[in-house]
Every structure is written in structure tokens, then in C-alpha cells.
Amino acid sequence: MAKNAMDFRPEEENVAYIGAGVTLKGEISASDLIIVDGAIEGDVSARVIRVGQGGVIRGNVSATEADVSGWISDHVEVKQLLVVRAGGRVEGKVTYGEIELEKGAVIAGDVSALEDYRAAKPVPAAKAGGARAERVDVMAALPKPSTSSIDRINEAVRSAKGAKGALYLAAGGEGKRVPTRALIGRKASAGA
């Protein structure tokens, strides 16, 4: 990642560079790469956006990939990989395909993953006899996650009713097994 002007090569095509001490107000887009060591107030779009340690973007950000060592706020949409480096900060409405956070990175606000951009693609028809390719919805086949550990325990107990044998639950990664009969009538608490 270009940390400053010393790392930037002006002979690169389709690259926009906003240097330290420069403030751009308005809209900027590049077909390939935007490097920000200064400040941008407005809409930013590119295939790749790199925000250096002193870089700031306030506005709507749209990219395929982003690498943030500085600060981005407002509305951020990264279709594939969002990397927030140690000391980097991303805030606001943030959507991403995949995310990588280094220790010390901050991400805050309304944060959500886009539908898996690598999800199953249409399967080609096996025969040319008119069969159409259909998209396989992998996410629909997965069970919906419960909201808490207690909900997962209750669901396991309900599912096991009528089954023969004891139902065991893993206890906090310690490798202990606890018969559910020992849990009946006890109040569960966080961290126990």
C-alpha cells in the first residue's frame, strides 16, 4: 500500500493520488486505483481505494477492494475485500464482501456483509436439451442462527426429546460434557 507520495509512481495509468495536505471537495472516480494521503469530502469510486495513515474520506465510498490505514466515514460499500489496518478507522453505514481487521483497527456504525460474492454460481446445463442453468442458493439451505447460547441449548433439548440416550453439551471449550438433566431447573448465566 502506498503510505505516502514516496511510494506513488506518477507513470501508473488510471491512478488518482491525493497527497498529504491536499483537500478535495466533490466527486472523484478512477477506473483502477485511488490513493488518499490527504482529504476527500464527497463521493469516491474506484476498483481499489487505499487510504494512507494520514488520509481521510468523508462521503460515499464505492470500491471493489479497499485498504484503510487512515479514516473513512459516512457510507462505505466494498464489494469484495475491505482491509482495515492497525490505526485505521471506518465508520457509518459499511457493507463489504469480506473483511480483514488488524489488531487496533476500528469499525463502527451499521456494519453488514453483502451477500457472499463468491456464492454458488449458475450451474451449466448438463444437456443441451433445453435445461436451464439455475443459481443454487446456499444460504437458504443453512439453518438460521439463534440469538443466544440459551436459545441454542433450548433448541438442542427440544430436538432431543424422545431420543434414546443422554444429550451432552460442550461446556466452554473445556472439553467437559454436561448431561442436560443436570441443567433442568437451573438458571443459566453468561460466562458460566
Confidence of residue 156 (pLDDT cuts 50, 70, 90): low
Q: Is residue 45 part of a domain?
A: yes
Expressed as residue numbers, the domain containing 107 is: 5-113
One domain for residues 109 and 148: no
- Burial per residue of 41-76, b for 16 or more beta-carbon CB atoms within 10 angstroms, e otherwise: eebbbbebbbbbbbbbbbbbbbbbbbbbbbbbbbbb
Looking at per-residue pLDDT, the higher value among 49 and 176 belongs to 49
Confidence of residue 12 (pLDDT cuts 50, 70, 90): confident
Average pLDDT over residues 29-53: 96
Residue 140's pLDDT is 47
Place of cell 437451573: 186
Q: Is residue 49 part of a domain?
A: yes
Nearest CA-CA partner of 59 in 45, 48, 69, 46: 45
One domain for residues 105 and 13: yes
Phi, psi of 141, deg, nearest 5: -80, -20
Q: Which of 113, 130, 155 is the last residue of a domain?
A: 113
Average pLDDT over residues 11-33: 91
One domain for residues 13 and 89: yes
**Quick check: 56 and 74 in contact, CB under 8 A?**
no
Residue 150's pLDDT is 55
To the question of pTM greater than 0.75 for the whole model, the response is: no
Average pLDDT over residues 158-181: 48
Residue 138's pLDDT is 42
Number of folded domains in the chain? 2
Q: Is residue 69 part of a domain?
A: yes
Q: Is residue 187 part of a domain?
A: no
One domain for residues 90 and 158: no
| Farthest-apart Cα atoms in the chain, separation | 72
One domain for residues 27 and 98: yes
Looking at per-residue pLDDT, the higher value among 24 and 176 belongs to 24
Residue 117's pLDDT is 61
- Beta bridge mates, 160: none
Mode of pairing for the β-strands spanning 33-36 and 89-101: unpaired
Q: Is residue 131 part of a domain?
A: no
